[in-house]
Amino acid sequence: MSDVRPHGSLLPRLLLGALLAGAPPVEAHAQSNSASNSARDTTRIAPVVTGRSMVSTKLGIVATSQPLASAAGAQILAAGGNAIDAAIAANAVLAITEPMMNGIGGDLFAIVYEARTGKVHALNASGWAASGVTAELVASKSQNGRMPQRGVWSITVPGAIAGWDALRTRFGTMTFAELLEPAIWHAETGFAVGEVTARLWAGAERQANPEFRRVYTTGGKAPAPGAWLRNPDYAKSLRRIAAEGKKGFYEGETARAILSTIAAEGGTMTAADLTEFAPEWTSTITTEYRGWTVHELPPNSQGLAALMMLDIMSHFPIAEYGFLSTKAMHVEIEAKKLAYADLLRYIGDPKFSQLPVAQLMSREHAAARAKLVDPAKANCSVPPAALGGIEQGESETVYLSTIDKDGNIVSLIQSNYSAFGSGIVAPGTGFVLHNRGGLFTLEPGRPNTIAPRKRPLHTIIPAFMTRGDVRIGFGIMGGWNQSQAHAQFVSNIADFGMNIQEALEASRFSKRTFDGCDVDIEDGVSPPVIQALRAMGHDVRLSNGRFTDTYGYGQAVMSNGAGVHFGASEPRHDGMAALEPPPLTRRPR
């Protein structure tokens, strides 16, 4: 029996899901300059069937990739904290329970929706390169003449703690001592390693730094699922922050350990590089897609690529093509190539060069790029636009989203970049230093060429979208997968009326390279669609099983505008969306 469903049965079901979730109904859009609508694509599959339901409440929700982190955030909400407080507490626990992905030795970006004012705030807490570091110096230390992806030359100043401090100071209601208490408890008492986390932890066995192996392995072996681990050194680092705020990280014992370790490896980072670093409050960049306003962080992040993808996709009737249809997937894959080609050519740290953000986000630019999509053939070599080298790398990242009873939302992402970052742990600190500098290029004269106190082009991006009174904080981690995953999530909601759980669980594609026609496609896409894409020239690589880490892991929270809040955490990871418990008037017996 065929799994192919007629298009007429698809949209009503999805519209019903959107209405039940409190979202406004979604219409199919067709633009006059789109491909012909006369021939319907019959090679599509049924709507996504989720493995989990959304959670819902009028109180708060914390969605993370680790149950202990979600529970810690919910605990903070129950104690009177808000969404910002909960996000910091959850992030601190994630750093102990998922250390390959994130930690206080990494960077942070966040979007904060302030319900009282209706304003959207963006925080860039990405650290800069060390003083004294130049492309020429790093090239002389590199074995292949390219930007090192591990070791001391890949380390930039960690921005996460400065980010926590900025969030807490501006919007938080609790002290660091209160917010870090759950993470300190887990670090000192111990925690059980999750199933997916244990698989990702296996990379620890390949790290050479002796302090790293002492902290993150047992006898040189990574922990198995359920293994009980403690990290008292991490607890000590957190206690310094709890007592002294950000000075407890960027100055004093922790800072001295970081600087002495980097110096012993030949690096050039100075005490002033740590103490003088400050995160940046900025504005989001936005685009409109099918009536939704989508927010991303501006450069130096890759969020621009998600918006450019959506702008290109808006020129095609994706909803009429059908969910996971040949035409829809072809357009989205080609839009990814076009957007990323521009991103890699023109984007870096805006403090060091004038970036053509307005040109890249213009309607004229999107229309011109959309015309380059051949409806019958994949493009295997996409040059950047003519507006008058970067390592592809990987990314190990955590994304979390929180909402409180008042409707404040935090969309936060935090990362080491690669699994266990640089592979270097400063003695006594209990956390790995990230390798975000690996995203610089050594090619002279580029916006992303490494330079002293310059921030690299960043892969990690939180996101936020609104339509009417509906507010959604969402994100999907995974290196260069992120912008393309964001665009697919938005399309799932805007084009197909999915709720946030369906939009996260839906099968995705991921093209992690920047040239060629290779593309990874997750299980769940029908064989006729795969065959048709290959006939168009796409070099399709099928995943081995459903829910692999190739396609990233995401979370989402939503307010439906009527006081009901929803949370979602996809089953590709160990996570959960935890509900704030109701207040108890007396102790249960």
Is residue 419 within 8 Å of residue 435, measured between CB atoms? no
Is residue 295 within 8 Å of residue 499, measured between CB atoms? no
Query: For residue 396, what pLDDT band results from cuts at 50, 70 and 90?
Result: low
More confident call, 91 vs 552? 91
In the chain, the N- to C-terminal Cα span, in Å, equals 55
Q: Compute, in degrees rounded to 10, the torsion defined by CA atoms 535, 537, 538, 544.
A: 50
- Whether the pLDDT of residue 384 is over 80: the answer is no
Instruction: Report how far residue 498's alpha carbon sits from residue 513's, in angstroms, rounded to the nearest whole number.
Output: 29
Helix locations, 318-461, DSSP H: 318-321, 326-346, 357-360, 363-370
Instruction: Report how far residue 45's alpha carbon sits from residue 24's, in angstroms, rounded to the nearest whole number.
Output: 24
pLDDT of the residue at 107: 95
Is residue 498 within 8 Å of residue 506, measured between CB atoms? yes
pLDDT of the residue at 395: 53
Q: What is the DSSP letter of 488?
A: H
Query: For residue 158, what pLDDT band results from cuts at 50, 70 and 90?
Result: very high
- Whether the pLDDT of residue 387 is over 50: the answer is no
- Reading the block at residue 303, the tokens are 């969020």
Residue that has been written with the tokens 């829910």 in this structure: 547
> Model's pTM, two decimal places?
0.89
Question: Position 206: which residue type?
Answer: R
Is residue 138 within 8 Å of residue 147, measured between CB atoms? yes
Instruction: Report how far residue 267's alpha carbon sits from residue 138's, in angstroms, rounded to the nearest whole number.
Output: 10
- Whether the pLDDT of residue 52 is over 80: the answer is yes
Span 338-359, pLDDT tens digits: 988 887 777 777 778 777 778 8
Exposure string for 51-61, b = 16+ CB within 10 A, e = fewer: eeebbbbebbb
Is residue 45 within 8 Å of residue 526, measured between CB atoms? yes
Chain-centroid distance of CA 584 in Å reads 35
pLDDT of the residue at 44: 40
Which secondary structure element, helix H or strand E, spans residue 274, and what is its range?
A: helix 271-275
Q: For 192-207, what is the mean pLDDT? A: 89
- Whether the pLDDT of residue 577 is over 80: the answer is yes
Give the chain's length: 589
Q: How many other β-carbons are positioned within 10 Å of the β-carbon of residue 173? A: 14
417: left (phi over 0), alpha (psi -120 to 50) or beta: left
pLDDT of the residue at 31: 34
Instruction: Report how far residue 463's alpha carbon sits from residue 295's, in angstroms, rounded to the nearest whole number.
Output: 6
Where does 134-199 show beta strands of DSSP type E?
Answer: 191-192
Query: For residue 213, what pLDDT band results from cuts at 50, 70 and 90?
Result: very high
- The β-bridge relationship of strands 280-282 and 119-125 is antiparallel
Helix locations, 324-451, DSSP H: 326-346, 357-360, 363-370
Is residue 460 within 8 Å of residue 244, measured between CB atoms? no
HSE-up of residue 141 (Cα within 13 Å, Cβ side): 19
> What average pLDDT does the chain have?
87
Catalytic-residue membership of 397: yes
- The β-bridge relationship of strands 424-425 and 409-417 is unpaired
- Reading the block at residue 340, the tokens are 């990323």
SS3 32: coil
- Reading the block at residue 44, the tokens are 């599509």
Is residue 460 within 8 Å of residue 301, measured between CB atoms? yes
pLDDT of the residue at 47: 61
Which secondary structure element, helix H or strand E, spans residue 124, and what is its range?
A: strand 119-125
- Reading the block at residue 456, the tokens are 């690299």
pLDDT of the residue at 19: 35
Instruction: Report how far residue 306's alpha carbon sits from residue 458's, in angstroms, rounded to the nearest whole number.
Output: 13
- Reading the block at residue 355, the tokens are 């970036």
Question: Position 234: which residue type?
Answer: Y
- Whether the pLDDT of residue 230 is over 80: the answer is yes
Q: Which of 397, 402, 459, 466 is catalytic?
A: 397
- Whether the pLDDT of residue 43 is over 70: the answer is no
Span 487-544, pLDDT tens digits: 999 999 999 999 999 999 999 999 988 889 999 999 889 999 999 999 999 999 998 7
- Whether the pLDDT of residue 296 is over 70: the answer is yes
